[in-house]
């Protein structure tokens, strides 16, 4: 069987693309950095003023609700049956380090828009606002109610999205389809598979923040005892790192992803990915070298991220701690993982405190109507582009909407190469100017695809 080719390349419409880039630039210039527990919403209210100037028809024709800085718009359709919601967040992570271009300059240079939030996620936010703006200018009336939502607390899993969900529940809204950030149009999603691929997020892993604490009587460092707090914590961390307690397994979603991508790989990778029943055990071992992102989909992960101890070189700490971030998978979820870690912590005489813990999300049915609509919309908007389901290892606001929506799809129609992927939450975040027209077209087509 000959290998398939994902042949998509964005069409060039320089004038229109630049107009969109200039809108996005103004959005980036508004610093909407968020911090855990942040209560001041003044920067978001200023951002709302920018949106109102950029998208006047949206603000004139849609019902707008502000919920502690988060936004919710309603566009009345011909019927309130099977409403849809388009979503991307306003807030961005801090822009630290030395940047090529100032992180809130929104500079348009070398065919790219530079700045914090360009990809995550003001690019897609601009695109669906622009899509509705254009449809309104054309006199279009949607078949179903269309909601636009944008929280200002996504980056720290804050209350923005949950409060918006509560507002929708009060209104009795049950969504048919939600389209949030998550997957994107990725260049070479797995090593050895060339081209661009629409990676459509169908679920996301659970998440937890856990603190492990070791205590002692302290003392002077000139006479150190055995099993000091830091020594116990170090042994615990080494135990987890050297011999992972987490089981690797190909879930149905991950298997579907590799099956879809296998058709575009060269031999022997296409044969290996297309026959997981045979090569799965080998792939579990070698996957980290092929695709670290793919490897993270196979198991619960645990990353040690913060630590503390004594404030002086010559003082033994009475208390030392290490913090970890976990991402649960369905085959070893919250309950089993926490029980396993409690046993490990007891072994090293550590206290374990759960700061936050959320179970993994439900998975969208890739054979269902909603997924098929998104898949067909992608194919219509981006001719030649391959589509693949994708299991998210990071978290999104879509997680909070599952109680009012069975089809929470995570896909932003933004084209990203490997270097641009590194810029998300990193240095020099940017996206290509030429990918913006396609992003707007995707949302327009998705709205038009809702037929009764």
Q: Where are the domains of the chain?
A: 14-182+362-448, 209-247+301-353
Q: In degrees, to the nearest 5, what angle opens at C-alpha 168 toward C-alphas 167 and 170?
A: 65
Q: In degrees, to the nearest 5, what angle opens at C-alpha 304 toward C-alphas 302 and 309?
A: 150
- Which residues are known catalytic residues? 91, 154
Task: Give the predicted TM-score (pTM) of the model.
Answer: 0.92
> In Å, what is the CA distance from 361 to each residue of 46, 83, 111, 227, 433?
33, 21, 37, 40, 33
Architecture field, domain 209-247+301-353? 2-Layer Sandwich (3.30)
d(C-alpha 254, C-alpha 258), whole Å? 6
391: left (phi over 0), alpha (psi -120 to 50) or beta: beta
At which residue do the structure tokens 């194919």 appear? 379
d(C-alpha 354, C-alpha 14), whole Å? 51
d(C-alpha 387, C-alpha 323), whole Å? 37
Q: Which helix (H) or strand (E) holds 145?
A: strand 144-150
Pairing verdict, β 177-187 and 196-204: antiparallel
d(C-alpha 387, C-alpha 198), whole Å? 5
pLDDT (tens, 9 = 90+) of the chain, 452 residues, equals 457 888 888 888 999 999 999 999 999 999 999 998 988 999 999 999 999 999 999 999 999 999 999 999 999 999 999 999 999 999 999 999 999 999 999 999 999 999 999 999 999 999 999 999 999 999 999 999 999 999 999 999 999 999 999 999 999 999 999 999 999 999 988 877 888 999 999 999 999 999 999 999 998 889 888 999 999 999 999 999 999 999 999 999 999 999 999 999 888 888 888 899 888 898 888 888 777 888 899 999 999 999 999 999 999 999 999 999 999 999 999 999 999 999 999 999 999 999 999 999 999 999 999 999 999 999 999 999 999 999 998 899 999 999 999 999 999 999 999 999 999 999 999 999 999 999 999 999 999 999 76
Q: Which helix (H) or strand (E) holds 85?
A: strand 79-87
d(C-alpha 417, C-alpha 13), whole Å? 20
Q: What is the DSSP letter of 175?
A: B
At which residue do the structure tokens 């828009």 appear? 113
d(C-alpha 396, C-alpha 215), whole Å? 36
Yes or no: domain 14-182+362-448 corresponds to CATH 3.40.50.970: no
């Amino acid at each position: 069987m000959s290998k398939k080719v994902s042949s998509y390349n964005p069409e060039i419409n320089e004038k229109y693309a630049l107009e969109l880039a200039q809108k996005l630039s103004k959005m980036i210039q508004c610093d909407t950095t968020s911090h855990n527990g942040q209560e001041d919403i003044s920067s978001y209210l200023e951002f709302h003023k920018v949106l109102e100037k950029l998208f006047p028809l949206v603000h004139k024709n849609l019902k707008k609700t502000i919920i502690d800085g988060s936004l919710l718009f309603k566009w009345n359709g011909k019927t309130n049956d099977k409403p849809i919601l388009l979503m991307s967040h306003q807030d961005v992570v801090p822009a630290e380090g030395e940047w090529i271009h100032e992180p809130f300059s929104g500079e348009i240079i070398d065919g790219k828009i530079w700045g914090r939030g360009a990809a995550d996620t003001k690019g897609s936010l601009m695109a669906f606002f622009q899509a509705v703006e254009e449809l309104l200018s054309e006199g279009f009336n949607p078949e179903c109610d269309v909601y636009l939502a944008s929280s200002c607390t996504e980056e720290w899993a804050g209350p923005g999205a949950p409060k918006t969900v509560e507002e929708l529940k009060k209104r009795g809204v049950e969504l048919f389809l939600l389209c949030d950030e998550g997957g994107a149009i990725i260049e070479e999603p797995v090593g050895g598979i060339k081209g661009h691929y629409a990676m459509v997020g169908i679920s996301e892993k659970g998440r937890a923040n856990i603190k492990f604490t070791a205590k002692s009587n302290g003392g002077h460092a000139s006479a150190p005892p055995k099993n000091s707090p830091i020594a116990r914590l170090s042994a615990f961390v080494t135990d987890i790192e050297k011999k992972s307690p987490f089981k690797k397994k190909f879930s149905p979603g991950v298997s579907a992803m590799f099956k879809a991508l296998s058709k575009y790989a060269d031999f022997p990778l296409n044969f290996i990915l297309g026959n997981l029943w045979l090569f799965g055990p080998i792939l579990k071992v070698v996957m980290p070298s092929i695709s670290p992102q793919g490897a993270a989909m196979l198991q619960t992960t645990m990353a040690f991220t913060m630590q503390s101890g004594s404030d002086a070189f010559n003082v033994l700490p009475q208390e030392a701690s290490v913090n970890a971030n976990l991402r649960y998978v369905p085959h070893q979820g919250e309950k089993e993982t926490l029980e396993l870690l409690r046993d490990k912590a007891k072994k090293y005489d550590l206290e374990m405190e759960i700061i936050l813990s959320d179970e993994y999300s439900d998975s969208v049915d890739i054979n269902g109507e909603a997924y098929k609509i998104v898949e067909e919309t992608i194919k219509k908007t981006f001719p030649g582009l391959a589509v693949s389901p994708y299991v998210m290892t990071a978290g999104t606001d879509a997680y909070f909407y599952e109680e009012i929506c069975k089809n929470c799809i995570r896909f932003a129609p933004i084209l990203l190469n490997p270097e641009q992927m590194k810029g998300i939450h990193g240095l020099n975040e940017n996206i290509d100017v030429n990918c913006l027209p396609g992003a707007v077209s995707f949302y327009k087509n998705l709205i038009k695809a809702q037929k009764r």
